[in-house]
């Protein structure tokens, strides 16, 4: 009798304290645990160095503002920093035109690792609901309308029944495991799971998403035309002036200064962020869309080429558009009088619902993602908050919808760059694969994947790139302490005529 009461007491106490215990873990700690598990399996022994770089302040590149005092700014930077345009020219001369790479597709090793991760996560989720020793047979797949393993008896005699005591012990063990399961969504309230004892269903589980579903977005099954084409020509925009420090040099650029025109001298951003707009290869007079433009750094880079006839800076929220507007006002001379709503148009819309189809020559699709570096260092608005579990797990679905719609917005023959600041193969190659499949099956759109593995060699003295054979569709900058940029994944697609 005393043993039963002790178990009931512990069962009740755990129920009242489980959220307080869970709340002690910060969002950045949750992110780190998740990345250690996932990326540790994907990158193997390399993860240790990538992890250290992610937890360290990243390295910046300076974009000289052509609307300020560009000559004066460049002269100051030439004293200590490297001119990226000059550096890529030297590397290009060194490589010559015969030293080229070709992509043979993704490595089978990555696919096998992701299958192992998926299997391991599914097992964790099943054991969180059906722990070892449970009297209930474990299903092959996790079911969300789960019958209780315990039926409490109303008779006073049941308290002396060994089977009743054993079942209560099972319930206590299961309670402890459920308390720490990431399947539990706090938005249903602290008592939602245990509102009824006994219970024959876990309240609200039909609305929850198992974490293993996130990994299922990665697929290698191809039932659509797939064409790769090696990109061998690269022209650095004449008017684009970028500066960085050599590998191993952690010097910092001075803060931007006001120029005689009233705008700021240069813009600082994570160095890897310059690559997607650079590889988009904008030509003079083209109509360009930045589909998810905030905070505006990549839009500003495209404007600094002086090529776009019209640049549409789109984002979903007014607050995000205000951030873009602030950047433009700080860096574009006579922005309100000569540029706003003329050559620069701010547009508020969810990118997956824009409907001006086949109207853009070039599109930058820098989608919302897990923002890996931010997730590990900033608690505020962190995607690993317990109240954002559903949002995080559905990120690949959102990304694929945005990319699919942007393919429809692109003119035949036009190109886009899809990019994320995540290391996740699911959000990167997995999303590209999913979007290309939907584009063909639902809209008859076919594309050519532009293989940039030769072009990125021009930048190997600045960035550390992932091995080309590990990636199927795109390229990726890996965080690396001596050159701590990124992460940044990017994939270039051309819409077939």
Residues 479/485, Cβ–Cβ less than 8 Å: yes
CA separation for the pair 21, 213 (Å, rounded): 26
Alpha carbon 225 to chain centroid, angstroms: 26
As given in the structure block, the two tokens for residue 18 are 């489980």
Residue 234: burial class (beta carbons within 10 Å; 0-12, 13-18, 19+)? middle
Which residue's structure tokens are 């900058």? Answer: 477
As given in the structure block, the two tokens for residue 337 are 């009088």
CA separation for the pair 110, 42 (Å, rounded): 7
3-state secondary structure of 447: strand
Nearest CA to 203 out of 228, 184, 225, 222 is that of: 184
CA dihedral sign of residues 418, 422, 428, 430: negative
3-state secondary structure of 490: strand
3-state secondary structure of 220: coil
Catalytic site residue from 313, 369, 406, 421:
421
Residues 356/410, Cβ–Cβ less than 8 Å: no
Nearest CA to 64 out of 340, 459, 333, 331 is that of: 331
CA dihedral sign of residues 230, 279, 275, 396: negative
Q: Are strands 242-244 and 82-83 parallel, antiparallel or unpaired?
A: antiparallel
Nearest CA to 270 out of 374, 370, 417 is that of: 374
Residues 230/100, Cβ–Cβ less than 8 Å: yes
Residue 369 a catalytic site member: no
CA separation for the pair 73, 325 (Å, rounded): 23
Nearest CA to 460 out of 37, 63, 90 is that of: 90
CA separation for the pair 91, 93 (Å, rounded): 5
CA separation for the pair 489, 276 (Å, rounded): 9
CA separation for the pair 305, 268 (Å, rounded): 16
As given in the structure block, the two tokens for residue 314 are 């789109």
For the annotated catalytic residues, the residue numbers are: 421
């Amino acid at each position: 009798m005393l043993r039963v009461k002790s178990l009931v007491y512990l069962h009740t106490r755990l129920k009242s304290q489980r959220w307080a215990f869970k709340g002690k873990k910060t969002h950045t700690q949750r992110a780190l645990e998740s990345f250690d598990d996932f990326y540790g399996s994907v990158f193997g022994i390399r993860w240790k160095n990538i992890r250290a770089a992610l937890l360290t302040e990243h390295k910046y590149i300076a974009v000289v503002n052509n609307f300020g005092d560009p000559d004066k700014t460049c002269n100051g930077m030439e004293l200590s920093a490297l001119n990226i345009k000059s550096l890529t020219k030297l590397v290009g001369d060194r490589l010559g035109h015969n030293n080229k790479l070709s992509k043979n597709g993704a490595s089978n090793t990555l696919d096998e690792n992701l299958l192992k991760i998926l299997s391991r996560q599914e097992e964790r989720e099943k054991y969180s609901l059906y722990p070892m020793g449970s009297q209930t047979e474990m299903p092959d797949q996790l079911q969300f309308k789960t019958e209780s393993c315990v039926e409490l008896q109303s008779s006073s005699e049941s308290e002396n029944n060994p089977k009743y005591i054993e079942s209560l012990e099972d319930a206590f063990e299961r309670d402890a495991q459920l308390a720490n399961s990431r399947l539990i969504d706090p938005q249903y309230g602290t008592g939602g799971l245990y509102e009824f004892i006994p219970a024959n269903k876990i309240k609200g589980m039909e609305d929850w998403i198992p974490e293993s579903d996130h990994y299922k977005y990665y697929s290698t099954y191809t039932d659509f035309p797939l064409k790769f084409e090696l990109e061998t020509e690269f022209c650095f925009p004449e008017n684009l002036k970028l500066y960085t420090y050599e590998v191993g040099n952690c010097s910092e650029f001075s803060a931007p200064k006001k120029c005689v025109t009233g705008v700021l001298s240069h813009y600082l951003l994570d160095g890897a962020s310059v690559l997607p707009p650079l590889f988009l290869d904008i030509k003079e007079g083209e109509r360009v869309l930045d589909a998810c433009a905030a905070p505006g750094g990549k839009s500003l880079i495209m404007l600094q080429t002086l090529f776009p006839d019209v640049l549409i800076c789109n984002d979903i929220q007014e607050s995000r558009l205000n951030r873009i507007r602030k950047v433009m006002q700080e860096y574009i001379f006579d922005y309100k009088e000569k540029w706003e709503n003329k050559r620069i148009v701010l547009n508020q819309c969810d990118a997956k619902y824009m409907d001006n189809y086949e109207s853009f020559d070039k599109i930058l699709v820098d989608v919302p993602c897990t923002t890996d570096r931010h997730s590990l260092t900033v608690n505020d608005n962190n995607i690993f908050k317990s109240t954002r579990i559903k949002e995080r797990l559905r990120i690949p679905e959102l990304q694929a919808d945005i990319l699919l719609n942007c393919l429809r917005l692109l003119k035949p023959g036009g190109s886009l760059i899809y990019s994320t600041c995540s290391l996740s193969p699911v959000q990167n190659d997995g999303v590209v694969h999913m979007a290309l499949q939907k584009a063909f099956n639902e809209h008859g759109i076919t594309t050519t994947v532009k293989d940039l593995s030769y072009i990125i060699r021009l930048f190997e003295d600045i960035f550390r790139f992932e091995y080309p054979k590990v990636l199927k569709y795109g390229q990726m900058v890996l965080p690396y302490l001596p050159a701590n940029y990124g992460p940044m994944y990017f994939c270039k697609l051309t819409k077939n005529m």
